[in-house]
Structure 1
Amino acid sequence: MSIFVGKQASFRFLWFGQMFANLGDILYVVCLIKLIFDATGSVTYMSLVPFFNTFSALISGLLAPLVINKYKLKSILFFSQSGKTLLLLALCLTTTVFNDGWLFWIYLLICFISFLDGWASPARNALVPSLVEKRKLVKINSLLSISDQIVQLVAWPIGSILLVAMGAAKILWLTFILYVLSTALMGLIKHVTNQQTQIEQSRMDALKEGWRIIWDSKQLRTISFMNILETFANGVWIAAILFVYVAEALNKGESWWGLINGSFFAGMLFGGLLIYRFSHILEKKLGKTILWSTCSLIAITFLFGTTSIPWFALFVSFLFGLPQMARDVAETTIIQQSAREQLLAKVYSARGTLIFGAFGISSLVMGWITESFGVRTTYMAATGLFICSFSVALIGKKYLFLNTIEKRG
């Protein structure tokens, strides 16, 4: 029975449960974008999918500290995933009679699913450091990122193929099955918390705690300013914008939409393998990794936005994944060192609120720029935002390069 109570077994349940959830999330987005585009033919309506996703998760992230104060992280993770599964079942049933008159109900269910995910994400990320050894944290983060990219590498091209072969409504039912498997694995996690007795807090103090930790750490503050700018820039990588990019800039069809996404995640996968192999080097240079990765993203975004050659776009998309992965692992490791368990979940909820807010606005703005001025202008705007982020990194370089930060809690 020890296999079911050990930290290693619980980490595996978390790991594979998240893989099934990630696979379902991708297929879910692919299906919804296709259904809405077929019903409306509008880029703006397609862009509302990530907008409602991020707006709902933003509200959820603001309220998450109240839930984190009251319940154990494992319980939050399990019950939020269970709720997502039930809501997806409702979405599957709704799409069987889908037409543009059902758009309101589709968007409403999207909001509820994202709202629950806003509770699950900080709990999930905060559980990782307590289930693995500290000296293996960079390696484990790269391993988790590798598995995420494998899922995404497979899901986007296969999702595009299945979309043509089966239709969006049937793929939604496959997504429901994946959510059921994820929920079951999350329920098997056994987590013995080291959490100390909570000091009595007002609701306002609980809501502000994660934000206070970020603000008091100059390193986390610098990273957060960069995250906001980069998240605005990354709005150009949402599926709806890429859908238009493939059609207008490359003059290709839906299969290339999947190939471009797959190439990006292949680059992330390759980057993850490099980081896993050289994790002992990266863990000593987390700040430098973030700085130079951001610098690389400037040139890569510019090249991607200006090319009309499909195979070159695939190659540049692959290149984008390398620095993106290195930066993500470095940032994740720094954040996980900032606080212990319950407080770490609040840090993640605050950070998630920043990112969801920026991404939600970016989805609408980038969709509007694409529809009004063309998709190439959108990528030039993203390049400018990466330049601003790199400038922030240069200004706060002495904080970014700190090797350690004080752990709160």
Structure 2
Amino acid sequence: MVIVLVALFIAMLLAFWIKDHTDVDSKTSNDKVSKWSQFAEGWKISFQDKKTRTVFMVDAIDTIGGTAWIGAFVLAFCVQVLHKDESWWGIMNGSFFAGSILGGMLVVSISKYFKNRKFPLMLWGLGIYAIIAGIFAFNINPFVAMALMFLMGPPIQVTAVIRKTLLQENVQEEKLPKVMSCLEVVNNVVFSTSLLSLGWVADTFGITVIYIIAAVATIVSVAIGILARSNFIEQKAEVLQREAMRY
């Protein structure tokens, strides 16, 4: 608890160094707009633009699968399926975070490769994650489970970074905070609902079923992305055209 409070205090201090570069004129014009219009604007942008709507849908559905990996469910899986105690649960969590760190380093090292391949890479990452989740659901070997948790880190990091990047590229800078806020609202609602639902599923049908659901939900998000890929092919063509004009 003390560590959390100290971390929050440090974050608060660092927030004082954040500078708002928004023009004064734009701030003044925003003040004249009604609060309801400001509230509704983010939702309109989020669901009227095809690319932004696709990212929202993929992110929300993937959140359903991501809920299966919270500590309580993983601990139950360790005890009920792997027949290990809490110490092994900690090892598996450490393995996942090690994979996530590796994934973050991977994103930084090959960021140039992402340039015009972001959407296909996101789909590939989600597909790999779905396969790993499916194998995890039927696995009973603790060492294999630990390895799968490690392997899950990189694709999760890659897909998360790409989704945020796609939103930043498709939404105007001054409207991006509203869209990101809407995304957080959607994800929090989906997470809360899926947490309650998966808890009931785990109690009723067994802990293994929720990881099958996680894999299926991710496959659904991949299918939605494939159906909407033409929108991002158009975006790629626009980016290439702008780069050609630049040179």
Q: TM-score, normalised by structure 1?
A: 0.55
CA distance in 1: counterparts of 2:57 and 2:172, whole angstroms: 23
Matched with 2:228 is 396
Q: Would the aligned equivalents of 1:304 and 1:313 in 2 still touch at CA under 8 Å?
A: yes
Q: Would the aligned equivalents of 2:106 and 2:154 in 1 still touch at CA under 8 Å?
A: no
Matched with 2:10 is 181
Q: 1:174 to 1:366 in 2, by over 3 A?
A: same
Matched with 2:188 is 356
1:255 aligns with 2:90: no
Matched with 2:175 is 343
Matched with 1:222 is 54
Matched with 2:73 is 241
Matched with 2:148 is 316
SS of the residue corresponding to residue 284 of structure 1 reads coil
CA distance in 2: counterparts of 1:194 and 1:278, whole angstroms: 34
Aligned residue identity for 2:120: K
Q: Would the aligned equivalents of 2:59 and 2:163 in 1 still touch at CA under 8 Å?
A: no
CA distance in 2: counterparts of 1:400 and 1:366, whole angstroms: 33
1:285 Cα deviation from its structure 2 partner: 0.8
1:359 Cα deviation from its structure 2 partner: 0.5
SS of the residue corresponding to residue 33 of structure 2 reads coil
Matched with 2:201 is 369
Q: Would the aligned equivalents of 1:297 and 1:320 in 2 still touch at CA under 8 Å?
A: yes
SS of the residue corresponding to residue 337 of structure 1 reads helix
CA distance in 2: counterparts of 1:227 and 1:390, whole angstroms: 10
Per-residue Cα deviation, 1:56-100 (whole angstroms, up to 9, x for no partner): xxxxxxxxxxxxxxxxxxxxxxxxxxxxxxxxxxxxxxxxxxxxx
SS of the residue corresponding to residue 208 of structure 2 reads helix
Q: Would the aligned equivalents of 1:283 and 1:330 in 2 still touch at CA under 8 Å?
A: no
Aligned residue identity for 1:182: A
CA distance in 1: counterparts of 2:87 and 2:121, whole angstroms: 34
Matched with 1:205 is 37
1:340 Cα deviation from its structure 2 partner: 4.2
CA distance in 2: counterparts of 1:245 and 1:367, whole angstroms: 12
Aligned residue identity for 2:16: G
CA distance in 2: counterparts of 1:340 and 1:219, whole angstroms: 13
Q: Pick the aligned partner of 1:267 from 65, 80, 99.
A: 99
1:234 Cα deviation from its structure 2 partner: 1.1
Identity %: 27
Q: Would the aligned equivalents of 1:293 and 1:324 in 2 still touch at CA under 8 Å?
A: yes
Counterparts of 1:117-128 in structure 2 under 5 Å?
Answer: none
Q: 1:194 to 1:261 in 2, by over 3 A?
A: farther
Larger relative contact order (Cα-Cα within 8 Å, sequence gap ≥ 6) = 2
1:192 aligns with 2:24: no
1:352 Cα deviation from its structure 2 partner: 0.8
CA distance in 2: counterparts of 1:252 and 1:266, whole angstroms: 21
Per-residue Cα deviation, 1:124-178 (whole angstroms, up to 9, x for no partner): xxxxxxxxxxxxxxxxxxxxxxxxxxxxxxxxxxxxxxxxxxxxxxxx1222122
Q: Would the aligned equivalents of 1:222 and 1:400 in 2 still touch at CA under 8 Å?
A: no
Q: Pick the aligned partner of 1:276 from 102, 108, 118.
A: 108
Per-residue Cα deviation, 1:237-287 (whole angstroms, up to 9, x for no partner): 111111211111111122222221221121121122122111111122111
Structure 1's unaligned 5+ residue stretches are 1-171
SS of the residue corresponding to residue 198 of structure 1 reads helix
Q: Pick the aligned partner of 1:387 from 198, 219, 237.
A: 219
Aligned residue identity for 2:7: L
Q: TM-score, normalised by structure 2?
A: 0.88
CA distance in 2: counterparts of 1:190 and 1:383, whole angstroms: 41
1:303 Cα deviation from its structure 2 partner: 0.8
SS of the residue corresponding to residue 197 of structure 2 reads helix
1:341 Cα deviation from its structure 2 partner: 4.4
